[in-house]
Structure 1
Amino acid sequence: MKSLPPLKPLISFRSAARNKSFTKAAHELNLTQGAISRAVKQLEEFFGFELFERRNRGLFLTGKGKQLAEGVEEALVRLERVSEAIRLPETKRRLSVSCEPSLAMRWLMPKLETFLASNPHTDIHLSTGGGPIDLSAEGVHLAIRRSDFAWPPHYHCTPLGRERIGPVCSPEYWAQHKNGPKQRLHTRTRPEAWSDWDSVSTIRIDFNSEKYFDHFYFSLQAATTGFGMAIGPEPMVRDDIKQGLLVAPYGFETTRIEYVTLSLDRPGTDNDMNAFINWLKAELSLPTH
């Protein structure tokens, strides 16, 4: 315990570090700016070095200050989660999950009830988001992402399986256009989707027109209604293929990208998180018929 700094000032330091301002921290904690300054000074005296420096009228963490801020943030977030867990009824344990929007809407949400049925004591709080995420700031236990960006080294990454993609369209569209040129459907949120297909497949498709959509989800929805041909990640189109709403005439190819989960806590130390990750792996590995 002798190595621990005074604990009460850590709350003020955390707020000042996150807001990059003593004034904003004081407003957030309903304290005076002087109280925030004294709390930070108390920590600096304990450690023997400065935690902040002022440059160009701005407040910046020093190197060691940033290191301390990251440790304090992680420790307090975990404490908040424990506090939240023990205050909830014992029959429900909350697991906050962030998932790529299209994967959430077209795959996870329709299947989530099967997980909850076999894990009735787990309460999944689902939000959507893509790419980089600050797990601490957003209060997320687990993020489901594609491995196409860099995440902080202290995040625990669990691979779920490599992504498989393929061109998809409605059966009616394929019947009318399989021997002729087709319309290619793009999405602005993932403009490299067709390039990804070209990099893993030797099949070249004849296109004579293109149409753009703001979101990946919309391009897949357009494909089911006969607008043209879109790139479909296999999990997101699996149910539509089973229901006869889509066909994948050229099959699916495996890309270099993986689906992964990111967490602050090691999954093996949390039974609810571990059970959910194992379920995700099993569901993603199911074949398309």
Structure 2
Amino acid sequence: MNSVHLSVICMRNLPPLARLRTFEAAARLQSFALAAQELHLTASAISHQIRDLERYFGRALFERSHRQVRTTREGLRLFESLGRVFDALDAVCAEVQLPTQDEVLAVHCAPSLALKWLGPRLPTFLAQHPTINIRLTTGAEPVDLGVMRELDVALSYGAARQKAGLEVFSLGNERVVPLVSPQLVAPGESATEAIERLMLIDSQLSPVGWVDWFDGNGIVLPSRPRCSFDRAAMAIAAAVDGLGVALESTRLAGRELARGDLVVLEARGAKPIDRPLHFVSLRVSDRSRPPIAAFVDWVADQAKDR
């Protein structure tokens, strides 16, 4: 049996797409009646299609009560998975409708870098390359471009997957310093005194922590409660809101520093930490593709102004 024939058989074992679409609407709206209105069907038709799906899967997808429905645990799992599938289908259909000269560039980026650095700069790139359509996704974990062929370029935080066939380079050293709202610093107070007094904010995923800063400057780390966040952007926002002092990259906090929302606490004799934190990955075989080359070269150029 050849692979084409096998693929057709596998496809035939899937439930009809229309049934899955009906289920998605009913689960999202938690109502057969509302799903019927959205899909221009009768409530009876919705109920019939859902029962067909439940027979197919051999388990209940909804808990039914008087005029109310609620997804079961299995139904919720199906709904969450279908959401990702339908989002991908929407993206594919949108790409097919693009003008033939347009190209799609799939970029995966660390969340805080996307929010604080890449996103604000993208209008400049798109103005220079009007036929390139950026499809941006985010995630904290470095992705494997050798496996995830649907992605073209990855910008990762902390580390990047090193693998044969991939080109990986850093966006250069970033300065990691104590950042605080100027309103928290008392008149005449030294930076050292402020750091010893204020709440210290941790970034859980950062490869540079307060222990590194205190050890590097020969200062004892205070043994008091600290707040922590799993995104650098959240730690920066907390510092702006006056929660305490965040140890973060000036690249990520560039706009807050420029606006005066944050200032650098430069303790006397303290040494800033400079090291590469963000990395670009792409497949070597894709390096000559015009949209990828244009984007990667542009990102590298933007990073020179750290």
Give TM class, smaller chain. Answer: 0.5 to 0.7
Which residue identity is paired with 2:3?
P
Match runs of 1:52-201 below 5 Å: 88-135=98-145, 136-137=147-148, 139-175=150-186, 178=191, 179-180=193-194, 181-190=197-206, 192-198=208-214, 201=216
Local SS of the residue matching 2:252: helix
Return the alpha-carbon distance in structure 2 between the equivalents of residues 182 and 166 of structure 1.
Answer: 15
Give 5+ residue unaligned stretches, structure 1: 1-5, 16-24, 33-83
Instruction: State the one-letter code of the partner of 2:304.
Output: S
Q: Displacement of 1:115 after TM fit?
A: 1.1
Q: What is residue 229 of structure 2 aligned with on the other side?
A: 213
Q: What residue in structure 2 maps to residue 9 of structure 1?
A: 3
Q: Matched residue of 2:165: which SS?
A: coil
The unaligned stretches of length 5 or more in structure 2 are 15-93
Give 2:273's aligned residue.
253
How far the C-alpha of 1:188 sits from its partner, in A, is 3.0
TM-score (normalizing by structure 1) = 0.63
- 1:119 positional shift: 1.4
Structure 1 residue 138 displacement after superposition: 6.2
Deviation at 1:165, TM superposition (A): 1.3
Aligned equivalents of 1:143, 1:215: Cα separation in 2 = 18
- TM-superposed deviation, 1:192: 5.0
Identity %: 24
Give the aligned CA root-mean-square deviation in angstroms.
Answer: 3.3
Aligned to 1:41: none
Q: Deviations over 1:150-190 (max 9, x none)?
A: 43322221332123311111111234664342210013333
Quick one: distance in 2 between partners of 1:235 and 1:267?
A: 28
User: Which of 211, 217, 229 is residue 202 of structure 1 equivalent to?
Assistant: 217
Shift of 1:104: 0.7
Contact 2:114 2:138 in 1 (8 A): yes
Shift in Å, 1:244: 0.5
Structure 2 residue 253 is the aligned partner of structure 1 residue 233: no
How far, CA to CA, are the matches of 1:276 and 1:166 in structure 2? 29
Conserved 8 A contact 1:131-1:149 = no
After superposition, the C-alpha distances for 1:182-225 in whole angstroms (9 at most, x for unaligned) are 210013333753244446x4264774541122433211100011
